[in-house]
Amino acid sequence: MAQHISYRTVKVDGLSIFYREAGPKDAPTILLLDRFPSSSRMFEPLLTRLAWQFHAVSMADQCFSFSSTAGRS
């Protein structure tokens, strides 16, 4: 049975940061960070595999996906 992946955003210093998570929140957490040109979407198969034993979180890089970006000065 496949694990459910949740799609969420969190506000950090006024910016919306998009992330995916799977697995029980009381399990040890593994944070998967992507960098350009990859995408947090690439981690979805890994999230479902890790979710049986871990709380797996994949954050989207700022200004990509559904995350917002800070203005340029």
Residue 73: pLDDT band with limits 50, 70, 90: very low
- 37 in any annotated domain: yes
In single-letter form, the type of residue at position 27 comes to A
Residue 39 has a pLDDT of 66
- Decide if pLDDT at 69 tops 90: no
Its pTM surpasses 0.85: no
Identify whether 49 is part of a domain: yes
Identify whether 73 is part of a domain.
no
Nearest partner of 58 among 23, 15, 11, judged by Cα: 23
Residue at 70 is within a domain: no
Question: Is residue 34, in this structure, part of any structural domain at all?
Answer: yes
Residue 71 lies in a domain: no
Q: What is the mean pLDDT of the chain?
A: 79
Residue 47 lies in a domain: yes
- Number of structural domains the chain divides into: 1
Domain that holds residue 15: 6-59
pLDDT tens digits along 38-50 = 666 788 889 999 9
Q: Nearest Cα to 10, choosing from 36, 28, 31?
A: 31
pLDDT given for residue 59 in this prediction: 83
Please list the residues that pair with 46 across neighbouring strands: none
**CB-based contacts of 35, cutoff 8 Å, min separation 6:** 61
When mean pLDDT is compared across 8-12, 39-43, 55-59, the lowest value belongs to 39-43
